[in-house]
Amino acid sequence: MQRSSPFAPAEVLIAIRGLRFVRGALTIFDGVDLDIPRGKITAIMGPSGTGKTTLLRLIGGQLRPQAGRIEIGGQCVHELGRRELYQLRKRMGMLFQSGALFTDLNVFENVAFPLREHTQLPENLIRTLALIKLESVGLRGARDLTPAQLSGGMARRVALARAIALDPMMIMYDEPFSGQDPISMGVLMKLIQTINDALGLTSIVVSHDVQETATIADYIYLISGGRVVEHGTPAQLGRSSSAWVEQFLHALPDGPVPFHYPAPDYEADLLAGQDL
């Protein structure tokens, strides 16, 4: 199942080979190969329900694949014990779609949470670190608010500050733009880019917001029907000859993915009603 990688081996942080994942009767991935390069923003795009979130959970070790390997920096994620997995996860950040802030803690305590759990730092240092992270997402002034008082976009920014609290080597974004107004979308795009460049980390963005994601991504994988359909830089994908890629990137209503759900013949279906 070896596939020629578009990157040199030293560039690759996460290597996925022959990934197969089945949930119930549904095959979500069937032979997915992809490489996430270090220090870049890699986008994974595809229609709703193609298991993009599932892929992030597989990379984070919250789900186990039925076959294939997921290697992060040479370590196979699903072969690690809980202790080693937790060691690895301390170096991973993940931004959940909803933000997933702890509702019983205020904004400041949410950002301080990983620091308090994983370090023995004195209180004044924790305060300084948490405020630096909050400042970087522009919400230092919102430190005393509760998650319920935040808008969706602000909640995601707080969650982002929390995800980078321990200075991870990589960060995974699950649908960071969905349901955001244009301003908040712009803020998040800028943040993802700045944080990636400033902290020198590796970013994975899972999304189906084509334009926004294509603007910030260095490399894009398109997933559909359980496999990688196309991959390349945004410019390369723009020149792709595949009709499916064309339809997806330009949001055309009809194409290889039909507008109509499979149905019996329209005329016959309507006429069948006359006998009732």
Site residues for other proteins per CB under 8 A: 57, 60, 62, 82, 86-87, 89-90, 92, 94, 96-98, 100-103, 113-114, 117-118, 159, 162
Phi, psi of 137 (to 5 degrees): -105, 10
Q: What angle do CA 78, 204, 61 make, to 5 degrees?
A: 15
Distance separating alpha carbons of residues 208 and 50, to the nearest angstrom: 10
Minimum CB–partner distance for residue 163 and other proteins (Å): 8
Residue closer to other proteins by CB (options 93, 222) is 93
Residue closer to other proteins by CB (options 159, 201) is 159
Whether the Cβ atoms of residue 62 and residue 131 lie closer than 8 Å to each other: no
Residue closer to other proteins by CB (options 98, 194) is 98
Phi, psi of 115 (to 5 degrees): -65, -45
- Helix locations, 25-98, DSSP H: 52-59, 82-89
Minimum CB–partner distance for residue 194 and other proteins (Å): 22
Residue closer to other proteins by CB (options 57, 127) is 57
Paired residues of 22 in beta bridges: 27
Minimum CB–partner distance for residue 257 and other proteins (Å): 28
Residue closer to other proteins by CB (options 133, 162) is 162
SS3 187: helix
Minimum CB–partner distance for residue 56 and other proteins (Å): 9
Residue closer to other proteins by CB (options 203, 249) is 203
Structure tokens at 161: 């500050």
Residue closer to other proteins by CB (options 117, 144) is 117
Distance separating alpha carbons of residues 219 and 99, to the nearest angstrom: 25
Paired residues of 231 in beta bridges: 221
Whether the Cβ atoms of residue 166 and residue 121 lie closer than 8 Å to each other: no
Minimum CB–partner distance for residue 100 and other proteins (Å): 4
Minimum CB–partner distance for residue 142 and other proteins (Å): 19
Minimum CB–partner distance for residue 61 and other proteins (Å): 9
Nearest to 232 by CA among 244, 250, 217: 217
Whether the Cβ atoms of residue 31 and residue 18 lie closer than 8 Å to each other: yes
Phi, psi of 120 (to 5 degrees): -110, 25
Residue closer to other proteins by CB (options 67, 85) is 85
Minimum CB–partner distance for residue 104 and other proteins (Å): 9
Distance separating alpha carbons of residues 140 and 130, to the nearest angstrom: 9
